[in-house]
Chain A
């Protein structure tokens, strides 16, 4: 990390003392601009655009032959497994994002009050978001273990369950359990974003509303919610993109199982590619997933473009 300190020349031993001689010869300004962005664009072109193009090409090519065909996409649409995985991904993403937003907003509202220990809470609350996906998955796999897991033990002690619950092997529970872990992992980030948004709303607006006789609920509806609009779009879009791509948590927690019941799009594309070696099919699925992602990110992109 000392690179941060070492690399940029401190402003104090600045440019003035060295004068013109120390400066690089002036290129035409516009050309220079391209020099600044060139490394990034080249790198992204080689390592992102080209592989993306390869995936498109692969998804359109018949197995082992030349030409262009839509057979993989037809197969995709007809595949029961694909439909099932899309459905599970939709459930996973919708439930996770909804829970993140509801819980994140609720906690942010609470922490927006002057409370004892607020700062410490805020700092520590982000820890689940900081640990790797895989670690979050592993923790919960252990907590939810049917025999030795602490959740079943706690529920049994409270008299809420009579028999151990098979959180990760019961077909109707497994997706819920994965979502539970993902909610734990993801809501603190949304909470932090909301909290920053709440603190950017001017207090005068609340005072003015109070003078006009608005009650708590009315102030929430007419001051808080509109004030959070922008933050809300950002949190919703970013979180939806992130949860749709989520891989490590599901992979570490259930590996997509039992069977394919907790499989999501990223784990399924991964398996089609690297376990079943169905490259063309996997590519088509990845393209479909990308289309979905680009579609959900439209509001976010539009907002940013409008600002530019």
Chain B
């Protein structure tokens, strides 16, 4: 790499840079390491004073307990169904809306887009109360469908904005050429635009998934029965109990973070590109 003009080439500076990066790395990763180490301990070992850093005899007992005795399979299923559905629907609807905003001279376009933008800034607690009543009234309280609709309110505005940015990047000439060939807008959208913004769709889907998977506010207000609990709600409930089994809680938290971590590591290229595209677009 040659960026000679930007940086000093002194060895001292370079050493300092590495030391700083190393310290930040430890700061970032240690909590994860500690979570893994704790989850591999027995409860007695986790509660020993002074603190035992490495488990004497690592055990997976905490994971087994969470998965087999504590209904984690159900919670995972709920989280997965709700988050995946939300991610797919918000990406598809968001892409449609993004295309509509990007390519049509609509009356009131500015106002409508402003409304979508502002809806991103509303705090969840503003709407979660009335939402509870509405869902109860239509019989969707304590259902996965109710949760999905709720998550769409968070994810859809974001998806629309993000995907509109990507669609803006697709040259209009492509649309026009296809229209000359007699193709409908819908076919242009599905056949030309969507394939070209695939990275943006992956990024949006992943982002929506992470938002839905990580939510606590909506799941704690819109569900109550054991069969509807999601992973995050289960974790939050455990910690509020009088007695906490820390290795089990750490195992649960680790598993709760796991799908997001794996999906992110598989698709980080698109997520980072998607999130930063909006920020640095000139």
Chain A positions within 8 Å of B, measured between CB atoms, are 1, 3-4, 7-11, 14-16, 19-20, 22-26, 29-30, 32-37, 39-41, 43-44, 47-52, 54-55, 58, 103, 106-107, 110-111, 113-115, 121, 123-128, 130-135, 138-143, 147-150, 153, 156, 184, 188-189, 192-193, 196-197, 200, 203, 206-207, 209-210, 216, 219, 230-231, 234-235, 241, 244-245, 247-248, 251-252, 255, 265-266, 269-270, 273-274, 279, 282-283, 286-287, 289-290, 293-294, 297, 301, 304-305, 308
Contact = CB atoms under 8 A, between A and B. Distances in A.
B101 interface: yes
B256 A132 contact: yes
B134 A51 contact: yes
A219 B280 CA distance: 20
Given A132-B232, A138-B239, A127 B261 contact: yes
B82 interface: no
Contact of A37 (B21, B100, B254, B276): B100
A304 B190 CA distance: 27
A258 B184 CA distance: 61
B34 A142 contact: yes
Contacts, number: 355
Interface string B87-125: 010001110110111011111001011111111111111
Contact of A270 (B20, B96, B105, B125): B125
B279 A234 contact: yes
A4 B196 contact: no
B122 A121 contact: no
B32 A4 contact: no
A40 B187 contact: no
A43 B239 contact: no
A272 to B, nearest CB: 9
A110 B127 contact: no
Given A7-B92, A203-B3, A290-B121, 16 more contacts: A7-B194, A10-B195, A23-B182, A127-B32, A131-B260, A132-B256, A134-B214, A134-B256, A138-B239, A139-B253, A142-B250, A148-B51, A184-B28, A196-B276, A301-B114, A308-B110
